Structure 1
Amino acid sequence: MGKTQSKLTPEQLTELQNITYFDRKELQQWYRGFMNDCPPGVLDKEEFSRMYKQFFPFGDPTPLAEHVFNVFDANKNGYIDFKEFICALSVTGRGRLDEKLRWAFQLYDIDGDGTITYNEMLTIVRAIYKLTGQMVKLPPDEDTPEKRVDKIFALMDRDKNAELSFEEFKEGSKQDPSIVQALSLYDGLV
């Protein structure tokens, strides 16, 4: 679906309906908007970051946008086509909690090895803090990325091995919903 075409074929619509939480009409509307914003039919990292800046004008969204881009880019070819875009939007905006948790885990698991290290978590939390800038007042025990990650690991790292498995992440996120709340930024879009 990376090739430019004016509308989705019936086969593409059926496939996307089967793998997303969108109906045919919504898929067609999203496709028109995507093609209007991305005439080549794909988003590169730079364009994706530019779009993020529109949503977060008061902070620096670039570091987080780069990590989110990497999760959206399911086939890792350096571009987000419509199928990748709508599948990610479907999960983050309308997915079940377990799907959102899996997506969030992929965001924090930067190297994709199936675990989140302290440094990976710190990288993403720093990016989130840059994104929000001075717009969010944080409690003293979370006013730096390091304090926040220390708190997360104290809560989630049950076996104290300095990395989080998906199971630890999932259980910990149920105790601290703010871990996944970042995904709610897509709720107004879908």
Structure 2
Amino acid sequence: MAGILGRKVQQKLAEAMSKRSHFSKDEVDKLLDMWSLITAGGTRLDRNKFRDVLHNTFDMTDDILMDRVFRAFDKDMDSNLSQEEWVLGLSVFLRGTLEERVAYCFNVYDMNNDGYISREEMFQMLKNSMVKQTTEEDPDEGIKDIVELVLKKMDHDHDNRLSMDDFMKSVKEEDLLLEAFGPCLPDTKYREKFLADLESGNVCLDISQAKS
């Protein structure tokens, strides 16, 4: 009886979430099944388990960016993801509109959550994500040069930092700038595989195998 009741509650939740996301009711239902598998029937998804999903399913490896992706999903900032944060976060992560993805990437890059991406934040993210060179040249100087070039291109109001408006205008002019400071959205092949597996119902199996 409890299992039947639980399934009815989940289906009702899936229907409600489907109206607020880019997923169908059936897709949300499967995402909630995944949630139960990942959390072992718990009520919250913590940072470490979420990082396992990012790494094993989407091949993300940058520690700083994975932490920032978690923060972008964690809307109430309680250091855990609820079922709603899981589904709505994945909705943007996998199928977001341009405006949704711009806002998401901006939030990832705004490391101190002050509404701006500063020179220091750009430097930190680029320093962590760029391939280390084996030349004698100081790599920090090269990164500083890139930061200045990015600011020159994206800082529309010339205040030496990027606002959401600066970022939105820049990405609409050149969509490659969406992930200018490091990959925080899934690579196309991993996104398409996840969505194909979601449709076929194989995602839970993949995650289960990745954890073992």
The TM-score normalised by the length of structure 1 is 0.78
Q: Give the aligned partner of residue 115 of structure 2.
A: 114
Over aligned residue pairs, what C-alpha RMSD do you find? 2.5
The sequence identity of aligned pairs, in percent, is 21
Mapped partners of 1:70, 1:169: distance in 2? 19
2:59 aligned with 1:56, yes or no? Answer: yes
Q: Give the aligned partner of residue 15 of structure 1.
A: 16
- Identify the match of residue 166 of structure 2 among 165, 168, 177: 168
Letter in 2 for 1:178: L
1:47-86 aligned at under 5 Å gives the runs 47-54=49-56, 55-56=58-59, 60-86=61-87
Unaligned runs of 5+ in 1: 135-142
Q: Give the aligned partner of residue 37 of structure 2.
A: 36
**SS of equivalent to 2:129:** helix
Any idea what the Cα deviations from partners look like across 1:140-169, whole Å, max 9, x if unmatched? xxx954343332211011232111111110
**SS of equivalent to 1:9:** helix
Mapped partners of 2:169, 2:63: distance in 1? 29
Mapped partners of 2:78, 2:129: distance in 1? 25
1:147-186 aligned at under 5 Å gives the runs 147-181=145-179, 182=183, 183-185=185-187
- Whichever of the two has the greater Rg, that structure is 2
Any idea what the Cα deviations from partners look like across 1:39-78, whole Å, max 9, x if unmatched? 2232212222233332437xx4222111111111111000
Query: Relative to structure 2, which stretch is displaced further, 103-112 or 174-183?
Result: 174-183
Mapped partners of 1:19, 1:145: distance in 2? 40
Mapped partners of 1:42, 1:153: distance in 2? 39
Q: 1:61 to 1:110 in 2, by over 3 A?
A: same
Mapped partners of 2:93, 2:59: distance in 1? 18
The TM-score normalised by the length of structure 2 is 0.71
Which structure: greater helix fraction?
2
- Is the contact made by 1:21 and 1:90 (CA closer than 8 Å) also made in structure 2? yes
- Is the contact made by 1:49 and 1:61 (CA closer than 8 Å) also made in structure 2? no
Query: Relative to structure 2, which stretch is displaced further, 102-111 or 113-122?
Result: 113-122
Cα drift, residue 6 of structure 1:
5.2
Unaligned runs of 5+ in 2: 133-140, 196-212
